[in-house]
A and B are shown apart, each in its own frame.
Chain A
Amino acid sequence: MTNLEETIQKCASGDRKAQTALYNEFSSKMYGVCLRYSKDATEAEDNLQEGFIRVFTKIEQFGFKGSFEGWMRRIMVNTSLEKFRKNNHLYPVEDMMIYESVQFTEETLSIISADDLMKIIQELPPRYRMVFNLYAIEGYSHQEIAKMMKITEGTSKSNLSRARVILQKKVINDFGLEKNTVTTTLC
């Protein structure tokens, strides 16, 4: 039995030391996930707190059939989505925005920090932020996103397209990138 498995089993029996150890090991990563889905740090902290309480109260349901980190990550994502669903009404928007894909070079990327990108993603309208995170970072399909967010696939695609346009524009504007430093392609 690995240390992690032992810690998980102890957590399932309510061992506070094991819970502390588990929190210390994963809290930074999970906070990162929550920050991506939130508009600011306060919302992320709330989601992280709620997510970890769920982790500890449902940890006996983890069947050791896959990555524990992945399981925790899904809980954090679901917690964030639930909070979003509770606070936002979704209006079906299916008009597709034509988005001009920009290709960024390695050199361009080196001047942009993760914290900068986090700030940009947090500034997205909530529904765009959710869809972009789920599609571009977590790797869910539009069909899955539609199911998770209780929207249509068309709405999911539309939201993603709009999110991309906003993000791209912000990255170019905020970092003073000239058009010639990027390659544009129409898609």
Chain B
Amino acid sequence: MLAEKRNIDQVFREKLAEYEKTPPAFVWTNIQGKLNTRKRERRIGMLKAVGIAAAIFVAFLAGWLTTNPTDKIAVRQNSVAEKAIVNPGTEPSAEKRADPAVQEDNTTIVANTSTPESSQKANNKKTLQFSSLASFAANTSFVDNANLLKSQKSSELVLFKSEKELLEHLQKNFKMVKKLTDWIASVRKDSVPVNNPKTFTIGAFKQTSDNTSMASAVNVTSRNKDRWSLKAEFSPAFNSQAPNSGQHGELAYAGTGSSKPQETSTENTVYGGMIAGYKVGKRLIIKSGIVYNNIRQTTRNVNFMSMNPQYNVPVGTALASTPVGKVSLNNTGSSRTAAALNSDNTLSNSAQYYSAASELKQNIEFIEIPFLATYKLVDKKVVIGLTGGVSTNILIGNNATLSENGGKISGGETTNMRNVVYSGAVGLEMGYAINNRITLTVEPRVKRFINSLSSSKSINYKPYQVGIVTGVTYSFN
């Protein structure tokens, strides 16, 4: 019978190890609520991370630009060009290198590099010429890497004395010339009309030393080739409330009891930031970045409602209601006046009052991460482009201030503001390229919030902004 006896541990283990009891229903409701909150927080966290990543990206680009001046790039291109101007075939043997005749047979490409009498201006143009030749060499299978390395080791550059001599050599190999002309034509077709690629090629080489229009054309070509851009932009924002925005339902009490109606207006503000662009096509640029934006509303002749369970107004506070949302305040000033009762008495409350001397400012600040696309209608010295896209706006600031006769008497925040709202924007960008890198732009832009700034079901506040965005764009490769 010993087996039937249990010590205290066994008693509890047998009875409680598999104990089950249905928990109250509210536990699952609470769990769902918490999971939803976490999901929302994670989404906001991700958006913040995207914002930070965009900021880091912009900072990286700025850093990269400041540490890689264009003259270094030119030197590097020059160096590559020198590497490219080598024996295109197999590495010449020692005997062949020693024999000029053999060299000529191997169709060595040679460029007229700097000459003692060349001016600095001419040198710059030749840098571009080198760059062109280097790119050409890279685009053709004419020079392979092995040859480049071997040629570099040999450090042997053979220079032609005249452009005519160069052209004679080019013409020895028709295929090579064809590739060269095709490539130059493709690079320049946006800015320089080309009727006969072969003729153009010859013309281009002839012009490089003395024709400034060629330099200008090459500049535009250079800008067109730049895939990346970085833009600093700034704009005054003329904010306005959309016709279907504003208070409904439970907020309808505002203004109903006062002799003078409450007035709310959206103030003009400013916004600005950094935008990075990437050219995905000949005319299409996608852009993203980080922009600070804010919306400010001012309400005059503010109507207040003190303790009222119907609107969840606790004792010791007063509630102001505007099209953006409700603001809970602990002081409504000394100039308040008890509101008159309504004729139908439906919404009137003896505790309702208003203050003609008060002004309630609601300031809402966002960090905006835009995703825009610009299609360039004109891409010359003058640039015209259509821009459109959507933005994620992350709430970073929400404060409300009640002032009376200019002095602050109470502060709070607008309730139920969404942490993330989305907006859409369209604009017409007009710019002028002051050089091959920098373009000044001005862009009338209209922006509209897609979802309500408030999460309250009774508020549908979707303001729109009209801005004149001025900016400076730096293009680079």
Interface residues of A (CB under 8 A from B): 14, 16, 19-20, 23, 27-29, 31-32, 35-36, 44-45, 48-49, 52-53, 56-57, 101-106, 109, 112-114, 117-118, 121, 132, 135-137, 164, 167-168, 171, 183
Contacts and interface: CB of A to CB of B under 8 A. Distances in A.
Contacts of B30: 49
Contacts of A56: 31, 35
B28 to A, nearest CB: 6
Interface in B4-51: 4-9, 11-24, 27-28, 30-32, 34-35, 38-39
B22 A132 contact: no
A21 to B, nearest CB: 12
Given A31-B21, A35-B19, A53 B31 contact: yes
Contacts of A106: 4-6
Contacts of A104: 5-8, 11
A114 B6 contact: no
Given A29-B18, A31-B21, A23 B8 contact: no
Nearest to B5: A103
Contacts of B9: 135-136, 164
Given A45-B27, A49-B27, A137 B7 contact: no
Main secondary structure of the interface of A (DSSP, over half): helix
A35 B21 CA distance: 9
Contact of B16 (A32, A53, A164): A32
Given A117-B12, A136-B13, A167-B12, A23 B31 contact: yes
A105 B35 CA distance: 47
A136 B5 contact: no
Interface residues on B, range: 20 to 34
Given A27-B28, A49-B34, A104-B5, A117 B21 contact: no
Nearest to A20: B28
Contacts of B11: 104, 109, 112, 117, 171
Given A36-B16, A117-B12, A23 B28 contact: yes
B34 A53 contact: yes
A102 B16 contact: no
A72 to B, nearest CB: 13
B8 A168 contact: yes
Nearest to B23: A31
A132 B6 contact: no
Nearest to A104: B6
A48 B8 CA distance: 27
A94 B226 CA distance: 77
A60 B21 CA distance: 27
A36 B28 CA distance: 20
A113 B4 CA distance: 17
Contacts of A53: 31, 34-35, 38
Contacts of B7: 101-104
A28 B32 CA distance: 17
11 contacts: A23-B28, A29-B20, A31-B23, A32-B16, A32-B18, A35-B21, A104-B11, A105-B4, A106-B5, A167-B8, A167-B12
B30 to A, nearest CB: 5
Contacts of A31: 20-23, 27
Given A14-B39, A27-B28, 9 more contacts: A19-B35, A31-B20, A35-B19, A36-B16, A109-B6, A117-B11, A118-B16, A136-B8, A136-B12
Nearest to A19: B35
Nearest to B22: A28
Contacts of B19: 32, 35-36, 114, 118
A36 B34 CA distance: 24
Contacts of A167: 8, 12
B4 A45 contact: no
